[in-house]
Copies of this chain bind each other. A is one copy, B any other.
Amino acid sequence: MIVVNMKAYAEVNGEGGLKIAKVCEEVAKELAEKKELSIIVCPPQASLAWIATQVEIPCFAQHVDAVEPGSHTGAVTLESVKATGAAGTLVNHSERRLKIADIDFIVQKAKKLQLLTVVCTNNVAVSRAVAALEPYAVAVEPPELIGTGRSVSKVDPAVVENSVKAVKKIYDDCIVLCGAGITDGDDVRAAIELGADGVLLASGVVKAKDVRAKMLDLISGL
């Protein structure tokens, strides 16, 4: 599994984000027969419905608010995400950390709505804690490596390996991803060898000169 978080980069505004989603869709279709592969894209929040209605691969929100539908100006509810046709949401990204009661609210409610949750964590202890809430996936991302190009799977293999063990011990069905600094197929391969089920990345794809080539390289590591 490869999750592409488009963040709020200038490159993904308007057509830019759609183009990246289309390339990911194309690659996913081409490789569908050869590999068991899941590519998920997280468009900019304001483009979520617009992109989700134009591609067939799963789209995720980058963030949702822990509220019921109602009088909440500016909030992104799980119900509004579901209605766009999106398949799930990132939760608690290090750039959008949430209160623990709100993570719990989102994870439990997403299950009822059949939406998937990828909950980000910053270390092994927090990975364990989040696993106790039984989300679809945990993505461990040491914040100090995000955006550096120095891959967590090479620079800090212990945090990946120990997070995998800790999460599976508490909730065996949980998918474990790793992120931060992932830039090529080697980084992905290292992650898989440490027990991760996939990777979460952002600038590595968004800022790639050739997004198609970059995706193919990353997938080669799976």
Interface residues in A1-35 by Cβ distance below 8 A to B read: 5, 7-10, 12-15
14 residue pairs from A and B, CB less than 8 Å apart = A5-B73, A7-B72, A8-B75, A9-B70, A14-B83, A15-B83, A46-B81, A49-B49, A61-B74, A73-B95, A97-B100, A101-B122, A129-B129, A129-B132
- Known A44-B76, A75-B45; contact A99-B98, beta-carbon cutoff 8 A: yes
Within 8 Å of chain B (Cβ to Cβ): is A175? no
Q: In whole angstroms, what is the CA distance A102 to B98 when docked? A: 10
Cβ-defined partner of A73 (8 Å) among B8, B48, B170:
B8
User: Cβ of A71 and Cβ of B132 under 8 Å apart?
Assistant: no
Given contacts A8-B67, A73-B95, A100-B103, 17 further A-B contacts (CB under 8 A): A8-B69, A8-B80, A9-B69, A10-B70, A13-B80, A14-B83, A44-B76, A46-B46, A50-B50, A61-B74, A71-B202, A73-B90, A97-B102, A99-B100, A100-B126, A108-B125, A170-B170
Residues of B within 8 A of A86 (CB): 46
Name A53-73 residues within 8 Å CB distance of B. Answer: 53, 61-63, 65, 67, 69-73
The complex places the Cα of A86 from the Cα of B61 at a distance, in Å, of 20
- The CA-CA distance from A213 to B75 in the complex, in Å, is 28
A32-B103 Cα distance, complex, nearest whole Å? 42
Closest Cβ neighbor of A170 among chain B residues = B132
Copies of this protein, total: 4
In contact, B47 and A45 (Cβ under 8 angstroms)? no
**Given A49-B49, A70-B9; A104-B133 close (CB under 8 Å):** no
Q: Which 10 A-B pairs have the closest CB atoms?
A: A63-B74, A14-B83, A49-B50, A13-B83, A10-B69, A73-B93, A74-B96, A46-B48, A129-B132, A128-B132
A61 partner residues in chain B, CB cutoff 8 A = 46, 74
The smallest C-beta distance from A2 to any residue of chain B, in angstroms, reads 17
